[in-house]
Structure 1
Amino acid sequence: MRKWKLGLGVAMLALSVSMPAFAARTDLVLGVILEPPHLDPTAGAAAAIDEIVYANVFEGLTRIGENGDVLPDLAERWTISDDGKVYTFKLRTGVKFHDGTSFDADDVKFSLDRARAPDSTNAQKGLFAEIDTVNVVDPATVKITLKEPQGAFLYNLGWGDAVIVAPESAATNKEKPIGTGPFRFDSWARGSSIKLVKSPDYWGEPVALERAEFRIVPDAAAAVPAILSGDIQAYPFFPSDGVSQIEGDSRFKVVVGSTEGETILAMNNRKPPFDKLKVRQAIAYAIDRQSVIDGASSGLGTPIGSHFAPHNPAYLDLTGVYPHDPEKARALIKEAGAEGLKLTIKLPPTQYARLGGEIIASELREVGLDPELVPIEWAEWLSQVFTDKNFDATIVSHTEPNDIDIYARKDYYFGYDNPAFDQIIADLNTENDEAKRKELYGEAQKILAQDVPAAYLFELPKVGVWDAKLEGLWQNAPIQANDLTKVRWTD
């Protein structure tokens, strides 16, 4: 009997040694709303391009992290001259493009010179306008000299429009993208999906996924059954009107973060009586941000009190400057002699604007104003509001990253003019110390919160839905990207 037990134990040990450990899943299907027009982020403005290739296929000298911070990428480190004009980048070595060609300083010079050339098709050519020269010091060192100091230069280099491409493949990147990232392009079934596979020669930390498919699923009617059936395991920018059908199902995570979309009730600061601070303050006090979020954004979105994204390290919560207070609103309207003020609110054709307009109009009526809602199409908004400045107020989301500087533009549509604010933006444009930049961003936010050139409503939400066993997808969207470098399946 003892021998039999011993033999059984040996057999079981042998069996356990021979049986492989359970391997975590390594494939992923993601749903995306829009199909990109092509796959070259240096030659198109469509956010759908970056949603596929940013950080996955293509990389830049720097990259933008989930919270909007600037991180090293193909440049492992850099120095900045005392006058803020000369940036010297030390590049990573041993890096190869997916076609086997080597990455070095010549590729950086080629990419940046190409992006800023007179015939450049780069959608964000202005990002490179301050570059004076790009010089190759040696294969692993690049020196970039600016015409004037530019505090946001490192951030600008992290945009998808600034990724590094090779001269050997730049012309064909629209259809066959070749970068240095952890995934390489595999195939594109037009109208259906785009597939990436793990790059075996990646210079950095290997990714956990072997394959990733981006499947085009344009609306909630199709997205919900695809998620529930398991055909799609992740939908990083999920249609908000489908969330209620997923919530409460333990198989999935519903993750709500923020974007770079500051949703505001912009006022025409050039036009009486909106040139009076008390009138703008009254409007801000009259609005209940949470009611707007509940009614116009399916209860999703983060209240804001200034023009800044909540996920940004420099963000200040200033929603308490003008909390919902109808009594204060009525008092200020009376002091300003604005009782019964008629105003038009022009609404572009988005849900947050049309539904939000109804709620805000009701709240303004409660404090003694007489708003009229005017629905318009985007082309009319661009001509009437943005170009001709023919408006009293409008509801719109500003989605460009770190765009608080628009309030310093003298011909911008809402006509805000404050020399103290302009000076802070000027200082930001020349300051490259991140701690000091954070302080300046804080001061800029405080001025806007107090002056209310616009009533600040909420940050457009990023709603992600994915399998509960997935980790590493971004909660926030400082840029339009689906960075898969940290994504993995858990047991």
Structure 2
Amino acid sequence: MNRKTLVLPAVVGLLAPVLAACGGSDSGSGGDDGAIVVGTTDRFTATKDAPAPFDPAYSYDVGTWNVLRQTVQTLMIQPKGDGDPVPEAAQSCGFTDSGNERYACKLRDGLKFSNGDPVTAEDVKFSIDRARSIKADSGVFALLSTIDTVETQGDNEVIFHLKTADATFPFKLSTPVAGIVNPADYDKGKLREGFAIDGSGPYTLKTETDGDAVTKAVFTKNPEYKGVLDVKNEKVDMVSFEDADAMGAALDKGDIDVMTRTMTPEQIKKLSDAAGGNKESLVELAGLEIRYLAFNTSAPTVKTKAVRQAMAQVINRSELVSAVYGTQAEPLYSLVPASVTGHSNSFFNTYGDPDPAKAKALLKEADVSTPVKLTLNYTTDHYGAATKQEFEQLQKQLNASGLFDVTIKGTPWETFVPAERKGQYEVYGMGWFPDFPDADNFLAPFLDKDNFLKSPYKNGDIIDDLIPQSRRVADRLTAAKSLTKIQDIVAQDVPVIPLWQGKQYVASSDDITGTAYVLNSSASLQLWELSRGVSG
């Protein structure tokens, strides 16, 4: 069977057509016990600075969330074809007032944690209040910032009283920070260190480790699970690789069945172009991943707004994407991706095409001496091998203008994140995989008072007026006016510079089905969709 590429339409909120890999059933050896084996370059480590990577009250990156989504149940869940969230641990949820400030959920009958303990409304309250009170330095608690109090009525009803209207609240209840944990296993006042997870989700988890790092996560179907998901397999092994080349070699040898994030641009092109006898398939999926530069706006080198504006005026996104990612990404001119309701091309509207002369004028008017010396920091092992090439291109563009003297520095993720949170970087590169597919989630996490970047940038109009205004409106198209104003302010003040938005890819052996749904547009793994068999 030839290698082939299946392309799913990049339309958020619409159910993509069901596409499954086809071919013989003799490819892919799988695990020794018949498990489907999934490869990833995500690295899971417990360190002094981050000792509790799998605690829902701490975890806030796409890799660890993809572990939690398999194991910890939430009241709501995003459907596999995207769209509005639907009840999961709940049998029903909804606003009970006209002002979107009171949200009530009733639990499914017979819910149990994987150890057999019943799941009650009090457990839901405990879990959410715990995340709110711990206030981990990851900033994930900010997703629950609109909650005022959590009330229970009996064993199966939970009522959320909100501080202000929040039409996005159902989405927030679908994220792992709202995951339901057993008070018998989790301390109310501190994080649970290590890699153990206990929940009521579709799988239980066991990990294999080497020192302080997970090498394999074993997901076994949870017999106690009750929810909306149809779990199509009995076991999935997730194997963590040091780099994409090692992961690709494992797929070629049949040591793994599925290759997920993050493949290199070269691997994707090779799989897309190759033909003739190779029993591997490539699926292109809709994606909302974005990449951007962030600033510590208190750092002396970039404290002056004109420096940040001049960088925005010089950077050539089209050239950057073409040189590094080709057709696998698109230039981005706002924090909000082009396919999300409320998007505005604010950076292009403000700066137009790259123009060093205009950048020079900005710096001159602000009395900034040139060349401005800067260090651009990036992580070497979290967003894929192409990140270094991306920063080499940024360095080349900025230095070629004659206005900047840029050096670049790569750091492993486990040390990059603590340094960034402590404000040690003046300029640094980050990626964002949305918590849920709404424009609010591409703006508030960066700009609200408890923003996850720990950014010193604060704008009162955004925090006090525009974000609350946008959340009052259930019709997200109607909210676009407030959302556009936020994006325009960001383009003027430049606390961040958006760079590009990317597509998603999954490669698999030909006997694996369900790859078209193993990732949703928010890059959330849905391992329950995978199965082994022949399809045509």
Question: In which range does the TM-score fall when normalised by the shorter chain?
Answer: 0.7 to 0.9
Partners of 1:408 and 1:112 in 2: CA distance: 20
Partners of 1:319 and 1:335 in 2: CA distance: 15
Shift of 1:264: 2.9
CA separation of 1:293/1:414 partners in 2, compared to 1, >3 Å: closer, same or farther? Answer: farther
Partners of 1:175 and 1:387 in 2: CA distance: 24
* Other-structure match for 1:190: 209
* Other-structure match for 1:372: 405
Partners of 2:117 and 2:408 in 1: CA distance: 54
Partners of 1:190 and 1:390 in 2: CA distance: 31
* Other-structure match for 1:445: 487
* Other-structure match for 1:57: 71
* CA RMSD after TM alignment: 4.5
Greater shift in the superposed pair: 130-139 or 435-444? 435-444
Alignment of structure 1 residues 200-219 onto 2, 5 Å: 200-203=223-226, 204-219=228-243
Partners of 2:469 and 2:162 in 1: CA distance: 16
Shift of 1:145: 2.0
Alignment of structure 1 residues 272-287 onto 2, 5 Å: 283-287=311-315
Larger RCO, structures 1/2 (Cα 8 Å, 6+ apart)? 2
Greater shift in the superposed pair: 196-205 or 263-272? 263-272
CA separation of 1:189/1:439 partners in 2, compared to 1, >3 Å: closer, same or farther? Answer: same
- Could you list the per-position Cα deviations for residues 124-169 of structure 1 after superposition, in whole angstroms to 9, with x for gaps in the alignment? 3444455443222233321122344455433332221220123345
Partners of 2:332 and 2:201 in 1: CA distance: 35
* Other-structure match for 1:146: 162
Shift of 1:373: 0.8
CA separation of 1:162/1:385 partners in 2, compared to 1, >3 Å: closer, same or farther? Answer: closer
CA separation of 1:128/1:302 partners in 2, compared to 1, >3 Å: closer, same or farther? Answer: same
CA separation of 1:476/1:449 partners in 2, compared to 1, >3 Å: closer, same or farther? Answer: farther
5+ residue gaps in structure 1? 1-21
Structure 1 residue corresponding to 2:522, chosen from 463, 473, 478? 478
* Other-structure match for 1:124: 140
5+ residue gaps in structure 2? 1-23, 47-51, 381-385, 435-440
Shift of 1:304: 0.7
**Quick check: 2:36–2:236 contact (8 Å CA) kept in 1?**
yes
* Other-structure match for 2:469: 427
- Could you list the per-position Cα deviations for residues 266-316 of structure 1 after superposition, in whole angstroms to 9, with x for gaps in the alignment? 595998998677x86665454321221244557643321111245644444
* Other-structure match for 1:18: none
Structure 2 residue corresponding to 1:330, chosen from 350, 357, 360? 357
Alignment of structure 1 residues 296-445 onto 2, 5 Å: 296-297=324-325, 300-310=328-338, 312-316=340-344, 321=349, 325-326=353-354, 329-330=356-357, 333-334=360-361, 337=364, 341-350=370-379, 355-364=389-398, 369-376=402-409, 394-399=427-432, 401=434, 402-405=441-444, 406-407=446-447, 413=455, 415=457, 417=459, 419=461, 423-428=465-470, 434-437=476-479, 440-445=482-487
* Other-structure match for 2:11: none
- Could you list the per-position Cα deviations for residues 177-200 of structure 1 after superposition, in whole angstroms to 9, with x for gaps in the alignment? 342222334x43334422223334
Greater shift in the superposed pair: 138-147 or 435-444? 435-444
SS in 2 for 1:103: coil
* Other-structure match for 1:231: 255
Do structure 1's residue 487 and structure 2's residue 502 form an aligned pair?
Answer: no
What one-letter code is carried by the residue in structure 2 that aligns with 1:467?
S
Partners of 2:311 and 2:223 in 1: CA distance: 58
Partners of 1:348 and 1:284 in 2: CA distance: 17
Structure 2 residue corresponding to 1:30, chosen from 33, 38, 55? 38
CA separation of 1:487/1:381 partners in 2, compared to 1, >3 Å: closer, same or farther? Answer: closer
SS in 2 for 1:96: coil
Do structure 1's residue 108 and structure 2's residue 124 form an aligned pair?
Answer: yes
Computing the radius of gyration from Cα coordinates, the structure with the larger value is 1
* Other-structure match for 1:466: 508
CA separation of 1:69/1:174 partners in 2, compared to 1, >3 Å: closer, same or farther? Answer: farther
CA separation of 1:198/1:459 partners in 2, compared to 1, >3 Å: closer, same or farther? Answer: same
Structure 2 residue corresponding to 1:248, chosen from 273, 276, 292? 273
What one-letter code is carried by the residue in structure 2 that aligns with 1:30?
V
What one-letter code is carried by the residue in structure 2 that aligns with 1:291?
E
TM (norm. structure 1) is: 0.75
**Quick check: 1:29–1:232 contact (8 Å CA) kept in 2?**
yes
Shift of 1:59: 1.3
CA separation of 1:122/1:293 partners in 2, compared to 1, >3 Å: closer, same or farther? Answer: closer
SS in 2 for 1:177: coil
> % of aligned pairs identical?
19
* Other-structure match for 1:11: none
TM (norm. structure 2) is: 0.70
**Quick check: 2:135–2:141 contact (8 Å CA) kept in 1?**
no
**Quick check: 1:255–1:475 contact (8 Å CA) kept in 2?**
no
CA separation of 1:389/1:235 partners in 2, compared to 1, >3 Å: closer, same or farther? Answer: closer
User: How many aligned positions are there?
Assistant: 462
